[in-house]
Amino acid sequence: MEQFLREYRVGLFVLALLALLGGTSVIIVGEDQQAVIKRMGEPHRVINRFAPGDASGAGIAAKIPLAEQVVWLPRGLVPFSHAGKRLRSADQQWLLVDTDVTYRIIDPVRLVETLGSADKVEDQLKVLLPALLDSELGQRTAGDIARPGAGGANAALLQALDGKTRQYGIQIIDLRIARVSLDEAGLQATYDRMRERHEAAVFAIQTASADDAARITAEAEAEAATRLQQSAAKDPEFYAFFEAMRRYEQMYGDPDRKNTTTIVLPPDSGYLKHFGGK
């Protein structure tokens, strides 16, 4: 075996080199991929390029080893999320806004020429999107931004962002404000306003309840006085007895005044006669 290898080592080396070159001269392009073939550093051709209504060109393709390189790009829709953008609305509310974007690479050659690779697309979106959000959402109130469609901002932002990304071969398919929330300072201010409104409502209810209680008490006392007067007119002797008993209760019914007052009654007192059963 060693003698065989020594005699045919040159031939084996050549075969290995040819196998290596043959392996690097063939690429497999998937359904969800676009392949830009660069020759001597410049885009030369595109395999499985996206085109509306066009059949897929996925499959096996050839390239020149060493002289040509492949840049892989996605062929389908690509999602991108930009979270936590802090901005001020037209009514001076500081908001945190999350934005969802869906894009597609429609000109792979231009993308390779301008950005170099698909990895740079999100970096470019992170540069372009914040300024557009400030400009567009800054003209709308917090209430409008929180509504579906962000008060028309979604459509305006999509058009504006698409206009800026076409120079990179990118089409913006969809853009929407996914989430809107107040920042920490805004949340605290909102909680303070809610607490103030709650306290004001409680005070108003308590005031109205006290007024109602005073009115009802006054009406009840007036009605009671009227009925007492009517009763007195019908039975003056009983009314006089009732008044005497009430004064007695006022003097001796209060625990704090117990044994502090002395009443001297004559032998023929009505109290004595009543309690004596006479």
Q: What confidence tier does 115 reach under pLDDT thresholds 50, 70, 90?
A: very high
Q: What confidence tier does 100 reach under pLDDT thresholds 50, 70, 90?
A: very high
For residue range 232-261, what is the model confidence (pLDDT) as tens digits?
A: 676 666 666 777 677 766 666 666 665 566
Selection from 145, 36, 37, 32 nearest residue 88 by Cα: 145
∠ Cα 233 234 235 (to 5°): 95
Q: What confidence tier does 81 reach under pLDDT thresholds 50, 70, 90?
A: very high
Residue 76 has pLDDT above 60, yes or no: yes
More confidently predicted of 112 and 31: 112
Predicted local distance difference test score (pLDDT) of residue 72: 92
Q: What confidence tier does 23 reach under pLDDT thresholds 50, 70, 90?
A: very low
Listed range (30-34, 153-157, 161-165) with the worst mean pLDDT: 30-34
Q: 46 near 37, Cβ under 8 Å?
A: yes
Q: What confidence tier does 63 reach under pLDDT thresholds 50, 70, 90?
A: confident
**How far apart (Å, rounded) are the C-alpha atoms in residues 278 and 271?**
10
Q: 219 near 132, Cβ under 8 Å?
A: no
73: tokens are: 């790009």
Residue 41 has pLDDT above 90, yes or no: no
Residue 129 has pLDDT above 90, yes or no: yes
More confidently predicted of 2 and 35: 35
Listed range (83-92, 166-175, 176-185) with the worst mean pLDDT: 176-185
More confidently predicted of 169 and 27: 169
Predicted local distance difference test score (pLDDT) of residue 17: 45
Residue 125 has pLDDT above 90, yes or no: yes
Q: What confidence tier does 80 reach under pLDDT thresholds 50, 70, 90?
A: very high
Listed range (8-12, 161-165, 230-234) with the worst mean pLDDT: 8-12
Listed range (7-16, 107-116, 172-181, 197-206) with the worst mean pLDDT: 7-16
CB 251: neighbour CB atoms within 10 A?
Answer: 14
Tokens 């007036």 sit on residue: 222
Domains of the chain, earliest start first = 25-74 (no CATH), 78-182 (3.30.479.30), 207-275 (no CATH)
Residue 20 has pLDDT above 60, yes or no: no
pTM: 0.61
